[in-house]
């Protein structure tokens, strides 16, 4: 029976490179594979799936967060590969789950498990609940040799503490981190914010006394 797979990892863990390698292997054997990604992921172009290594391929299907999949386009496939699956809605994940039975086609989803605040993305949460197979794509921490588990969002050399869950970016904005360094970078950012606030208060007080 065809299965639903969720292969997750932090930023920079070569998830997309893995996806492109799987697509290449299917096509080398003369099999039909479809590459799917969320429409909102326009980092490398509206219809491009690209890894940080520079390898890329055109997406065959772009999906809106709550757009039902066109099942007729998915018939006769040997595999469906999904990039950035964390951005898909729960109903789309549920439809992918059904396709493994209704069409007998395996679906392999790649994506982040959690956001920069360690919270599950809705799509990833549903995949963790429904997938037959859950695999971690591993990479080491940006700051040490421990396994990276979390994603730090960075700005001007400091970790970002608050903000929207979805903010597109690549190496210039996100780095993988172990828990020790994830926590340490957030503490460093909080100290910097407190020091900046203290300087601002001192400046306002000095200005008021003049």
Domains and CATH numbers, the chain: 4-209 (3.40.50.300)
pLDDT computed for residue 156 by the predictor: 86
Query: Does the pLDDT value for residue 76 go beyond 70?
Result: yes
Taking the C-alpha atoms of residue 115 and residue 118, their distance in angstroms, rounded to an integer, is: 5
In this structure, how many other beta carbons lie within 10 angstroms of the beta carbon of residue 58?
9
Catalytically annotated residue among 84, 129, 135, 185: 84
pLDDT computed for residue 170 by the predictor: 62
pLDDT computed for residue 46 by the predictor: 75
Determine the angle formed by the axes of helices 90-102 and 122-130, rounding to 10 degrees. 30
- Give residue 176's pLDDT band: very low, low, confident or very high (50, 70, 90): very high
- Give residue 195's pLDDT band: very low, low, confident or very high (50, 70, 90): confident
Cβ(137)–Cβ(8) under 8 Å? yes
- Give residue 208's pLDDT band: very low, low, confident or very high (50, 70, 90): low
Q: Which contacts (CB < 8 Å, 24+ apart) does range 132-135 have? A: 132/3, 132/4, 132/5, 132/100, 133/3, 133/4, 133/5, 133/6, 134/5, 134/6, 134/8, 135/5, 135/6, 135/7, 135/8
Q: Output Rg (C-alpha) for the chain, integer angstroms.
A: 20
Contacts of 120 (CB under 8 A, 6+ apart): 113, 114, 128
Rounded mean pLDDT of the chain? 89
Highest mean pLDDT among 36-40, 53-57, 73-77: 73-77
Percent of the chain with pLDDT over 70: 90
The answer to whether 201 is a known catalytic residue is: no
Taking the C-alpha atoms of residue 176 and residue 136, their distance in angstroms, rounded to an integer, is: 14
């Amino acid at each position: 029976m065809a299965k639903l797979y969720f292969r997750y990892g932090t930023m920079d863990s070569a998830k997309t490179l893995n996806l492109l390698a799987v697509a290449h292997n299917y096509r080398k054997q003369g099999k039909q594979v479809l590459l799917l990604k969320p429409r909102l992921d326009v980092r490398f172009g509206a219809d491009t799936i690209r890894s940080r290594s520079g390898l890329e391929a055109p997406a065959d299907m772009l999906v809106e967060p709550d757009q039902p999949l066109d099942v007729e386009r998915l018939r006769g496939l040997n595999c469906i590969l999904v990039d950035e699956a964390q951005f898909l809605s729960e109903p789309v994940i549920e439809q992918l789950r059904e396709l493994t039975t209704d069409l007998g086609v395996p679906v392999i989803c790649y994506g982040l498990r959690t956001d920069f605040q360690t919270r599950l993305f809705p799509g990833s949460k549903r995949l963790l609940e429904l997938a037959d197979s859950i695999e971690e794509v591993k990479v080491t921490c940006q700051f040490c040799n421990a396994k990276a588990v979390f994603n730090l969002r960075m700005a001007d050399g400091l970790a970002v503490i608050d903000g929207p869950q979805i903010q597109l970016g690549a190496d210039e904005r996100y780095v993988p981190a172990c828990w020790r360094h994830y926590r340490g970078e957030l503490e460093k950012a909080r100290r910097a914010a407190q020091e900046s606030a203290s300087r601002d208060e001192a400046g306002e007080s000095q200005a008021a006394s003049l």
